[in-house]
Structure 1
């Protein structure tokens, strides 16, 4: 069976048109990610301030991320068959409605905590396939624009980091101004606009997708993605390590940082400021990576960047009651983190066969996100057993141990080598 590129035939497509499609994809990604980054601050804050319980913030994070991971795992075959653009547009449009229901029910005084969990879970189940689908378009766009993979993944990472910056800043301002529930209306608007932009501005990406004449069942095709992931030592090692760092990142963002802001009296403004500073400098790191990462040693960049953006974030909050020192540390951590996604993305897309991009990409991302639903619960558990300072230090040490794994695991060193063919 011959599988065409999801972008369809390139004959007759001008260079300007190709860059127009890339721009539409980047804009759609920015709109969707800005809204979800805003929600990453607003939702835990809504749960924490309305219930007074750090556990509630952790449960909300779990309710969103658990179905997100499951849906992402299951979405791979659909992305490869239906086309990544179609899946992204449909899921973004649907999730806009579920997010918009939160402020609507809040105004009707009908937003109970169980109702919030249901809506958050539905949003996560839709966001998983949407994010995976947009991400699956990277190799097609790199090929059509004739750019190094690191350049396109670097641009995508720049958009992601910029969205984190804007989303965190919007969250801090809107939550303080109109409250956490109403701030989520911006999230809904971002998702709706993302669906429109990708649907109208990148139509050519959806052309040329063949009918699914694969005689194998859905489960067989799904298993093909898993088998490739399991057998590729580099992608598997990266995926497992990132799963553990993601777990601790969620514990930090969803629970430990908001509780630090409450206990020190810094308020939600400090949460938005610190996340925005880290996002701002990560934009710079991503831009540098987009320009020069294809000439840098991937393994060295990966290890150093992870060490710099890990433990220091946790440690500075453990020893500081004001935002001055944390701002500096978060700025340095953000600069380092900006190099991670361009490097990891380039490694992944170079090693995954084109016809398996949707399945393997969705599967690897889902595994990398597999522990994230438990991040909020881990943060809550640490605070139940320890005071805030000790909880931050324990989480930070665990992060350091995880980031040093590539030094002893030789599979990671193959990041610097591009395979001629991966079967």
Structure 2
């Protein structure tokens, strides 16, 4: 198999797995609702998957380095497939078993997703594909999968029932394991000196702490994720209910952001290699965060809200690809597994925090004040990269090495 086909297979395998996961985001809560009738238990199951996912993304990567990236990916996806089959049987196993199984799936998915992302770099380099092209295309396809996955999940639950929908998710994990196992053979990364688990984990933390530019970019992405999830879970539904007096506009507002992000991704894929990376990241983050919150706080015209939300989606489309290429180019190959794991955990930490903070702030402050406060927070955080101390410079050398690794981000 040619290197380009190998890269295509690896990206496709990851996206198939993600599509199945989006189906389960719809199917598993519906299973809980059918079997328990409890909204509180629906939330508990969602949290049971999210927290292990975040923890394993950060804490499981030293073991992945020992086992091997490709082998870890195959084992994680094969294990997730088996566990999802067990989840489909949980009406007979009980709610406690469901929570435990979902937590295990989250833990396996966290480390499995991270190691596939680490494999992208050597496979792309072997294929002669520029990393900024890869991260841009992958981000766009990922957004498309997210957009389609929830719809597909709902259709599968409606057409085949919740059990069959969850089994389809299991098939997606199994397919991913087979594709990687049979068709992907990435070159081995630079070997790191054998070291204990805690020492290996601490090495990732030390590198990320020293690379202030990369750490700042991650904090910006975490803040944006927090604002986006607060908007999707709380702010936008409340604004639609208060201003439009009905649910009809909810899909329009959410769809405008997704459509803008897809268009922005197409534009960035074409123009990204010629744009100044760091400045583009700052502008994209600033456009993608505060404006869409401010227009909800200050406006009541649906057309204006849709236009600003669409523009915010265009801006945010540059953020994830530029963060991804910065990690690939700045972090030494022998540290990438653990640093990418820590980076993913930090970036995704904004999602559960955003939902909780959105609900609390809207209740305590009122919707308008909560939106203004979140917009001010986003504006401050997204402008942090302009501080002189946080502007681009060479990546720090790993501990014990005298050379600097990485390029301009």
Q: TM-score under structure 1 normalisation?
A: 0.79
- C-alpha distance in structure 1 between counterparts of 2:298 and 2:170, whole Å: 37
DSSP-derived class of the 1:414 partner: coil
Please list, as runs of the form range in 1=range in 2, the aligned pairs for 1:215-226 lying within 5 A after superposition. 215-226=194-205
Q: 2:114 aligns with which of 123, 129, 132?
A: 132
User: Would you say 1:413 and 2:391 are equivalent positions?
Assistant: yes
- C-alpha distance in structure 1 between counterparts of 2:300 and 2:212, whole Å: 43
- Report if the CA contact (8 A) 1:164-1:276 is conserved: no
**2:173 corresponds to which residue?**
191
State the structure with bigger RCO (CA 8 A, min sep 6), 1 or 2. 1
> 1:350: how far off?
0.9
User: Would you say 1:266 and 2:251 are equivalent positions?
Assistant: no
| Deviation by residue 1:2-21 (Cα, 9 ceiling, x = unmatched) | xxxxxxxxxxxxxx610110
> 1:361: how far off?
1.3
**2:400 corresponds to which residue?**
none
User: Would you say 1:92 and 2:77 are equivalent positions?
Assistant: yes
User: Would you say 1:355 and 2:355 are equivalent positions?
Assistant: no
Q: 1:74 aligns with which of 59, 76, 83?
A: 59
DSSP-derived class of the 2:405 partner: coil
* Inter-CA distance 405–184: structure 2 relative to 1 (3 Å threshold): farther
User: Would you say 1:154 and 2:136 are equivalent positions?
Assistant: yes
**1:144 corresponds to which residue?**
126
| Deviation by residue 1:301-344 (Cα, 9 ceiling, x = unmatched) | 11221122223444555678997665544433322222112211
Please list, as runs of the form range in 1=range in 2, the aligned pairs for 1:377-416 lying within 5 A after superposition. 377-388=356-367, 390-407=369-386, 409-414=387-392
Please, which moves more after superposition, 116-125 or 296-305? 116-125
- C-alpha distance in structure 2 between counterparts of 1:322 and 1:188, whole Å: 44
User: Would you say 1:288 and 2:285 are equivalent positions?
Assistant: no
- Report if the CA contact (8 A) 1:234-1:412 is conserved: yes
> 1:358: how far off?
0.8
- C-alpha distance in structure 1 between counterparts of 2:154 and 2:310, whole Å: 18
* Inter-CA distance 233–387: structure 2 relative to 1 (3 Å threshold): closer
Structure 1's unaligned 5+ residue stretches are 1-15
> 1:148: how far off?
2.2
Please list, as runs of the form range in 1=range in 2, the aligned pairs for 1:161-240 lying within 5 A after superposition. 161-171=143-153, 173-174=155-156, 183-202=165-184, 204-205=185-186, 208=188, 214-240=193-219
> 1:25: how far off?
0.9
- C-alpha distance in structure 2 between counterparts of 1:118 and 1:69, whole Å: 16
- C-alpha distance in structure 1 between counterparts of 2:168 and 2:240, whole Å: 23
- Report if the CA contact (8 A) 1:165-1:278 is conserved: no
- Report if the CA contact (8 A) 1:246-1:369 is conserved: yes
- Report if the CA contact (8 A) 1:57-1:254 is conserved: no
- C-alpha distance in structure 2 between counterparts of 1:172 and 1:277, whole Å: 20
* Inter-CA distance 208–345: structure 2 relative to 1 (3 Å threshold): closer
- Report if the CA contact (8 A) 1:96-1:189 is conserved: yes
**2:399 corresponds to which residue?**
none
- C-alpha distance in structure 2 between counterparts of 1:277 and 1:338, whole Å: 13
> 1:28: how far off?
0.9
- Report if the CA contact (8 A) 2:224-2:350 is conserved: no
* Inter-CA distance 252–186: structure 2 relative to 1 (3 Å threshold): farther
- C-alpha distance in structure 2 between counterparts of 1:393 and 1:58, whole Å: 27
| Deviation by residue 1:195-242 (Cα, 9 ceiling, x = unmatched) | 22222221x22x6579x8844212212211211111112112222232
- C-alpha distance in structure 2 between counterparts of 1:232 and 1:82, whole Å: 27
- C-alpha distance in structure 1 between counterparts of 2:293 and 2:255, whole Å: 16
> 1:31: how far off?
0.9
Structure 2's unaligned 5+ residue stretches are 397-402
